[in-house]
Amino acid sequence: MFRTTVLTVGKRVSLVLGLPAALFAVWWFATAGSTDFYVPPLSVILQKFGEVWTGARLESDVLPSLLRLGAGYLLAVVTGVGLGLLVGLSRIVRDVLEPVLELFRAVPPPVLVPVIMLFAGIGDTMKIIVIVSGCLWPILLNTVEGVRAVDEVLSDTCRSYGIDGPARLWHLVLRSASPQIVTGMRQSLSIGIILMVISEMFAASNGLGFTIVQFQRSFAIPEMWSGVLLLGLLGFVLSLLFRLAENRALAWYHGLRRAQRTP
């Protein structure tokens, strides 16, 4: 019994780590003797990784970035779901706002930053708003779709039981839209990381994106690569955490799907 769990755990670990390890090995050997200035050997990058991203910089650059990302992401979730409910539930609001929202969604964030700076200054508020301005859309659109697709029968049942107002919103609409909302939240997570970097390209004096750009500008190429590596790692860890949270929050839904799949 114990042995089999060890075996399955071992198998899963090797599945998760196998390909990345192989790719890293390829990278390691392909660049081992590299003299190209912009493609340093992986060994050098990893060594820099240890030097750069431990100690003081963790607190001075990584932490502020993560805090801004967290704040922006949460704000985007709250606004996206709130606005999504409003837009999804009302055909009129949807018709009126859809083109405007599409317009804003299509404007690339780096272009939007100067406009946001006009209103929000150059501090953390600006950077958080930039993150929100990109993360909002997948959550908003998915919430709208989720709300629109609420099951007719359930909706009628609710009405005939007199469940109305906030209770209806909470128990019926939000709940049945939640798988869609979660999909939107997952897409937003990686967008959030990108925008965290972009927001720190403007008027920043600390942060992960700021540091990487500085490395790039000062031709500290191995350090720059180590930053890119860290971003990838960050994305990976965040999406792992997200999946854990999702499995807990949507356990009922996944259970339902499984039940439907194995009749």
DSSP state of 46: H
Could you tell me the smallest distance in angstroms from the CB atom of residue 209 to other proteins?
A: 8
What distance lies between CA 216 and its chain's CA centroid?
24
Q: Assess 232 for contact with other proteins (CB under 8 A).
A: yes
Q: Assess 64 for contact with other proteins (CB under 8 A).
A: no
Could you tell me the smallest distance in angstroms from the CB atom of residue 63 to other proteins?
A: 19
Query: Exactly one of 4, 5, 114, 259 binds other proteins (CB under 8 A); which one?
Result: 114
b/e burial code for range 211-222 (CB count within 10 A of at least 16 → b): bbbbbeeeebbb
Q: Assess 66 for contact with other proteins (CB under 8 A).
A: no
How many Å apart are CA 185 and CA 177, to the nearest integer?
12
Could you tell me the smallest distance in angstroms from the CB atom of residue 165 to other proteins?
A: 8
Q: What is the dihedral of CA 201, 203, 207, 212, to 10 degrees?
A: 30
Is residue 86 within 8 Å of residue 171, measured between CB atoms? no
Q: Assess 236 for contact with other proteins (CB under 8 A).
A: yes
Q: Assess 228 for contact with other proteins (CB under 8 A).
A: yes
Q: Assess 252 for contact with other proteins (CB under 8 A).
A: no
User: Segment 148-167, which members bind other proteins (CB under 8 A)?
Assistant: 148-150, 152, 155-156, 164-165
Is residue 261 within 8 Å of residue 227, measured between CB atoms? no
Number of residues that bind other proteins (CB under 8 A): 85
Nearer to other proteins, 43 or 218 (CB): 218
Residue 92 neighbours by CB distance under 10 Å? 8
> Considering Cα of 220, then 224, then 226, then 230, what sign does the dihedral take?
positive
User: Segment 29-58, which members bind other proteins (CB under 8 A)?
Assistant: 37-38
Could you tell me the smallest distance in angstroms from the CB atom of residue 9 to other proteins?
A: 14
Convert residues 168-187 into a mask of x (bound to other proteins by CB under 8 A) and - (unbound): x------------------x
Q: Which helix (H) or strand (E) holds 185?
A: helix 175-199
Could you tell me the smallest distance in angstroms from the CB atom of residue 55 to other proteins?
A: 17
Q: Assess 258 for contact with other proteins (CB under 8 A).
A: no
Query: Exactly one of 8, 10, 20, 32 binds other proteins (CB under 8 A); which one?
Result: 20
How many Å apart are CA 116 and CA 126, to the nearest integer?
6
